[in-house]
Amino acid sequence: MDVRSAESLSYPFPDTPAPGEVVEVAPGILWIRMPLPFRLNHVNIYLIDDGEGWAIFDAGIGNDNTRAIWETLAAGPLAGRRLTRLIVSHYHPDHIGLAGWLAQRFDLPLQMSQTCFLGCINISLSPGALDAQPYRDFYLRNGLDAKTTAIVTTQGHGYLKMVTALPPTFNRIVAGDTLHIGGRTFAVLSGDGHAPEQLMLYCAPEKLFLAADQVLAKISPNVSVWAVDPLGDPLGLYLRSLATLRRDLPTDTLVLAGHQLPFYGLHTRAGELIAHHEHRCALIEEACRTAPRSAADLVPVIFHHPLDPHQMSFAFSEVLAHVNYMVREGRLLWTHPENGIARIVTP
């Protein structure tokens, strides 16, 4: 056993910043919290001393409340120092939502991955695309009922309500790049699984890791298969990313994550997340040993409480991530569809 992974998580900053306030988590690195109108009710944003002002890591969701808090911050805790640039970790609305507005309001260059930029633009160019028949068929073929299928296939419109339009140009950054922010250098890392090409920043001399949603202290980040890439293996990519982070980053790294508290214990947490997914894989494998199951059949194997259609759509997509992963690993097989529904068995 790796003795370093025996440590437990610790939280050096247990007091969360109130909306419009900042907490300094390292010299010249400020932590901000923006409210979210969901059960997960906040997102973390970090400001990094960039010499003449502050670089921003993630924007918050695109709504009036978050706009007002940015104005409060600019007039209050940040007064006298301008904002210099905006770096966006991934295209989920809680992170990229206000990026277009912030870039325009404060005249900021926008730095993100090409996947993030194009992913966001793609939804805004054709919000109805998710409604197409091949996407509907994907959910129905995997055993999802018609009502949930209707909700899942119209999610593109919901996304646009939470995201302001991006500017026509951006500054692409990729894994392996080095970003000079103020006096610091950050390695740009990317990790898949939660979102394609999610970017993270690592400052080696100070062991500071801006992890976005890849590693959170207490939540298992959503890892889902979507209809556009029905055979995709986001869970395999996610597990690979966790293994890479454990290999490359030291155990006493301060993790500045996209939600919940900053923490120490990266190796422990990565190990817990890997074990969590392996446990789910084992439950699915066990259920498929006795009879062929569709992905929808397997949802109650993993999720024991009643789910509304929205929760069901995420639960289903998570289950399918485990199925696709295990099919690639040779632990499960697809059977020939019966009555239009695809089912999985153990070999």
Yes or no: say if 216 and 272 are a contact pair by the CB < 8 Å rule. Answer: no
Residue number of the CB atom closest to Zn ion: 92
The answer for residues whose C-beta is within 8 angstroms of residue 80's C-beta and 6 or more apart is: none
In whole angstroms, give the CA distance from residue 257 to residue 212: 5
Size, binding site for Zn ion by CB under 5 A: 4
Residues in the chain: 347
By beta-carbon proximity to Zn ion, the closer residue of 25 and 199 is 199
Do β-strands 184-191 and 208-212 pair in parallel, antiparallel, or remain unpaired? unpaired
Stretch that binds Zn ion, among 103-111, 185-193, 251-259, 338-346 (CB under 5 A): 251-259
Q: Kindly state whether residue 92 participates in binding Zn ion, applying the rule CB under 5 A.
A: yes
Q: Kindly state whether residue 42 participates in binding Zn ion, applying the rule CB under 5 A.
A: no
Least distance in Å: CB of 214 to Zn ion? 9
* DSSP class of 293: B
* DSSP class of 90: -
Least distance in Å: CB of 195 to Zn ion? 5
Identity at 72, one-letter amino acid code: T
Stretch that binds Zn ion, among 115-123, 207-215, 266-274, 298-306 (CB under 5 A): 207-215
Least distance in Å: CB of 301 to Zn ion? 25
The helix (run of H) or strand (run of E) holding residue 31 is: strand 29-35
By beta-carbon proximity to Zn ion, the closer residue of 197 and 213 is 213
By beta-carbon proximity to Zn ion, the closer residue of 143 and 258 is 258
DSSP character string of 37-66:
SSSS-EEEEEEEE-SSEEEEE----SSHHH
Q: Which of 50, 94, 233, 297 binds Zn ion (CB under 5 A)?
A: 94
By beta-carbon proximity to Zn ion, the closer residue of 35 and 300 is 35
By beta-carbon proximity to Zn ion, the closer residue of 39 and 336 is 39
By beta-carbon proximity to Zn ion, the closer residue of 94 and 318 is 94
Do β-strands 344-345 and 110-112 pair in parallel, antiparallel, or remain unpaired? unpaired
Q: Which of 119, 258, 262, 265 binds Zn ion (CB under 5 A)?
A: 258
Strand order from edge to edge, sheet including 184-191: 178-181, 184-191, 198-203, 208-212, 254-257, 263-264
Q: Which of 49, 213, 297, 318 binds Zn ion (CB under 5 A)?
A: 213
Stretch that binds Zn ion, among 164-172, 185-193, 210-218, 294-302 (CB under 5 A): 210-218
Least distance in Å: CB of 219 to Zn ion? 9
Stretch that binds Zn ion, among 3-11, 15-23, 84-92, 296-304 (CB under 5 A): 84-92
By beta-carbon proximity to Zn ion, the closer residue of 94 and 233 is 94
Least distance in Å: CB of 46 to Zn ion? 13
Question: Hey, what's the torsion of the CAs at 13, 15, 21, 23, to 10 degrees?
Answer: -20
Can you say how many angstroms the Cα of residue 254 is from the centroid of all Cα atoms in its chain? Answer: 19
Q: Kindly state whether residue 49 participates in binding Zn ion, applying the rule CB under 5 A.
A: no
Cα 218 to Cα 104, 306, 329: the distances in Å are 35, 22, 27
CA-only gyration radius of the chain, Å: 21
By beta-carbon proximity to Zn ion, the closer residue of 221 and 271 is 221
- Name 57's bridge partners: 46, 87
By beta-carbon proximity to Zn ion, the closer residue of 50 and 94 is 94
Q: Which residues bind Zn ion (CB under 5 A)?
A: 92, 94, 213, 258
